[in-house]
């Protein structure tokens, strides 16, 4: 929500170039709030306001701008001012940001950054998208095993200023191997014994991820072990960086959105909906729509096969959507339950049989309920009559059973094959059910309706 409350005042301060008030405005509030108040301003206006903030709050406020505004500022403002601003961003955030800046501009800016930072940025950009390496920051608090609590505290108080989090302090040996961790809490509560050695304080069994691991792995471990941050190491257990809590929450949301998109029959978007170019979006949707289209063609063929039946008993057509959508919706529900339960680790493959049994019982129950409803309603129509209504009800029951079966087995199978169960998107299940539905419905009709059997 844009907060336009103070826009006029801010613009006035800018017009008067009222340094005092602009400074005051930049310091008074939580940087995120300050950024909100500036949402209505153009990028250049926002930048002119930020010029009055001290370096510290300038970068903090900037960090809360919309990505689009951040990019515009970076691309338009004076390159040296921008460089001094970027220097103070956590380097994982900087990397994400530069992904959206024009390559030429990045080329001009990188040389203006301190060597160490430039090296880190280049290295981080080299990691595959959605890998632990790509979301980690290389800035973390380091300790030596030989340090005493006193030294460590002094040491950390030096480092703290420039760090994103000091909740965990990482104990590193000469070859940069990760040996253990000490939490800020442990350190602070050990203040009473300043001569204790870190080696005697540290947790040796450290949960970590490798730089190439998928960010989903990061999410699972952080959630499983309730961590504030997780260290990222290479194959030889050299410490490379850490992934901090804020990035983990973002990952959790990204992964959830990805799954939702897959389930919705869309190839997941890398960026936001509005940032995604139309042609790309059309492609990501079109591909699946064409696949579903082919699925639906099967149904068309199946219907044509039964042309004579349909011709002799027209009313059969009326109930096709009822039978198919009931089966599709139940299958859709089963697929959703299984996919989400697998995604949250609520069920694993070894629960497979339990899940299948439950879904079967549920299919019987739900199919029964809907079949009764179908029988009742089709009795209301004059044509079907007792026999016809029996055909509708029986088929609907069977189709619902197929629906739950397909919706349960397909995601489980995909999970088993190491594929993303969410790929078993609802439309895919639905079009499969459509096809089966027609086959079941019309064969039951052939079986039970004398008019056809006779004809």
| Residue 67 touching a second copy (CB under 8 A) | no
Contact 133/232 with Cβ under 8 angstroms?
yes
70, 91, 137, 324: which one binds a second copy (CB under 8 A): 324
Any idea how long the chain is?
Answer: 455
Supply 234's token pair. 């290479």
By CB under 8 A, which span of 100-108, 209-217, 320-328, 440-448 interacts with a second copy?
A: 320-328
CB atoms < 10 A from the CB of 362, how many? 17
By CB under 8 A, which span of 46-54, 129-137, 230-238, 245-253 interacts with a second copy?
A: 245-253
Furthest CA-CA distance within the chain: 98
Residue from 6, 10, 242, 252 nearest 138 by CA: 242
131, 330, 394, 395: which one binds a second copy (CB under 8 A): 330
CB 48, min distance to a second copy, A: 23
Site residues for a second copy, 379-398, by CB under 8 A, read: 381
| Residue 280 touching a second copy (CB under 8 A) | no
CB 214, min distance to a second copy, A: 17
CB 338, min distance to a second copy, A: 8
CB 296, min distance to a second copy, A: 4
CB 137, min distance to a second copy, A: 13
CB 217, min distance to a second copy, A: 13
By CB under 8 A, which span of 7-15, 107-115, 324-332, 412-420 interacts with a second copy?
A: 324-332
Q: Which is nearer to a second copy, 112 or 186 (CB)?
A: 186
DSSP 291-352: HHHHHHHHHHHHHHHTHHHHHH-GGGGGGHHHHHHHHHHHHHHHHHHHHHHHHTTSS-GGGH
DSSP code, position 171: E
By CB under 8 A, which span of 98-106, 132-140, 328-336, 439-447 interacts with a second copy?
A: 328-336
3, 76, 126, 293: which one binds a second copy (CB under 8 A): 293
Supply 319's token pair. 């109930």
Give 368: exposed, middle or buried? Use CB within 10 Å, 0-12, 13-18, 19+.
Answer: middle
Site residues for a second copy, 401-440, by CB under 8 A, read: 426-427, 430-431, 434, 438
| Residue 339 touching a second copy (CB under 8 A) | yes
CA distances 55 to 35, 60, 83, Å, are 15, 9, 12
Q: Specify whether the backbone of 265 is left (phi greater than 0), alpha (psi in -120 to 50) or beta.
A: left
| Residue 356 touching a second copy (CB under 8 A) | no
CA angle 79, 69, 276 (to 5 degrees): 115
Q: Which is nearer to a second copy, 75 or 93 (CB)?
A: 93
Sign of the CA dihedral 290, 294, 299, 301? positive
By CB under 8 A, which span of 78-86, 113-121, 123-131, 299-307 interacts with a second copy?
A: 299-307
91, 137, 138, 329: which one binds a second copy (CB under 8 A): 329
| Residue 318 touching a second copy (CB under 8 A) | yes
7, 101, 112, 166: which one binds a second copy (CB under 8 A): 166
Site residues for a second copy, 186-225, by CB under 8 A, read: 188-192, 203, 205-207, 219, 222-225
Site residues for a second copy, 2-61, by CB under 8 A, read: 2, 28-30, 32-33
CB 110, min distance to a second copy, A: 25
Sign of the CA dihedral 400, 406, 408, 411? negative
20, 278, 450, 454: which one binds a second copy (CB under 8 A): 278
Q: Which is nearer to a second copy, 177 or 185 (CB)?
A: 185
**Number of residues near a second copy (by CB under 8 A):** 124
Q: Which is nearer to a second copy, 24 or 78 (CB)?
A: 24
| Residue 84 touching a second copy (CB under 8 A) | no
Contact 229/262 with Cβ under 8 angstroms?
no
101, 362, 379, 413: which one binds a second copy (CB under 8 A): 362
Supply 370's token pair. 């809907």
By CB under 8 A, which span of 15-23, 100-108, 122-130, 278-286 interacts with a second copy?
A: 278-286
Supply 200's token pair. 């005697």
Site residues for a second copy, 100-139, by CB under 8 A, read: none
Supply 67's token pair. 């990505």
CA gap 376, 369 in Å, rounded? 11
Contact 178/208 with Cβ under 8 angstroms?
yes
7, 14, 199, 281: which one binds a second copy (CB under 8 A): 281
| Residue 303 touching a second copy (CB under 8 A) | yes
CA gap 324, 438 in Å, rounded? 7
104-111 contacts, C-beta under 8 A, 24 or more apart: 105/74, 105/75, 108/79, 109/74, 109/79, 109/82, 109/83
């Amino acid at each position: 929500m844009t907060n336009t409350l103070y826009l006029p005042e801010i613009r006035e301060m800018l017009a008067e170039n009222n340094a005092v008030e602009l400074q005051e405005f930049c310091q008074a509030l939580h940087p995120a709030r300050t950024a909100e108040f500036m949402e209505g301003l153009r990028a250049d206006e926002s930048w002119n306001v930020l010029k009055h903030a001290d370096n510290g709050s300038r970068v903090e406020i900037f960090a809360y701008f919309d990505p689009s505004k951040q990019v515009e500022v970076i691309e338009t403002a004076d390159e040296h001012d921008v460089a001094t601003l970027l220097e103070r961003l956590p380097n994982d955030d900087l990397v994400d940001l530069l992904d959206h800046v024009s390559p030429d501009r990045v080329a001009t800016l990188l040389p203006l950054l301190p060597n160490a930072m430039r090296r880190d940025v280049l290295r981080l950009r080299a990691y595959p998208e959605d890998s632990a390496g790509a979301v980690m920051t290389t800035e973390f608090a380091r300790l030596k095993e030989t340090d005493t609590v006193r030294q460590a505290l002094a040491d950390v108080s030096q480092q703290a200023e420039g760090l994103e989090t000091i909740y965990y302090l990482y104990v590193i040996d000469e070859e940069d191997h990760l040996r253990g961790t000490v939490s800020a809490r442990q350190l602070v509560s050990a203040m009473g014994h300043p001569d204790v050695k870190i080696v005697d304080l540290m947790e040796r069994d450290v949960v970590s991820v490798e730089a190439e691991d998928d960010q989903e792995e990061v999410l699972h471990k952080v959630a499983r072990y309730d961590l504030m941050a997780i260290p990222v190491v290479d194959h030889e257990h050299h410490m490379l960086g850490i992934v901090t809590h804020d990035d983990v929450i973002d990952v959790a949301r990204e992964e959830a959105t990805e799954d939702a998109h897959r389930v919705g029959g869309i190839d997941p978007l890398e960026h936001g909906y509005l940032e995604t170019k139309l042609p790309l979006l059309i492609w990501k949707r079109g591909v699946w729509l064409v696949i579903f289209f082919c699925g639906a063609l099967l149904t068309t063929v199946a219907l044509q096969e039964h042309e004579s039946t349909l011709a002799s008993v027209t009313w059969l057509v009326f109930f096709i959507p009822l039978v198919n959508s009931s089966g599709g919706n139940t299958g859709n529900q089963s697929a959703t339950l299984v996919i989400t339960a697998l995604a949250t680790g609520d069920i694993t493959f070894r629960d497979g049989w339990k899940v299948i049994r439950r879904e079967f019982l549920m299919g019987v129950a739900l199919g029964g309920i809907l079949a009764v409803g179908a029988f009742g309603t089709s009795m209301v129509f004059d044509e079907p009559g007792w026999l016809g209504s029996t055909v509708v009800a029986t088929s609907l029951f069977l189709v619902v059973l197929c629906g739950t079966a397909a919706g349960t087995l397909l995601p489980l199978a995909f999970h088993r094959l190491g594929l993303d169960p969410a790929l078993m998107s609802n439309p895919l299940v639905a079009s499969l059910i459509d096809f089966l539905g027609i086959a079941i419905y019309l064969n039951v009709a052939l079986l039970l309706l004398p008019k056809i059997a006779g004809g």
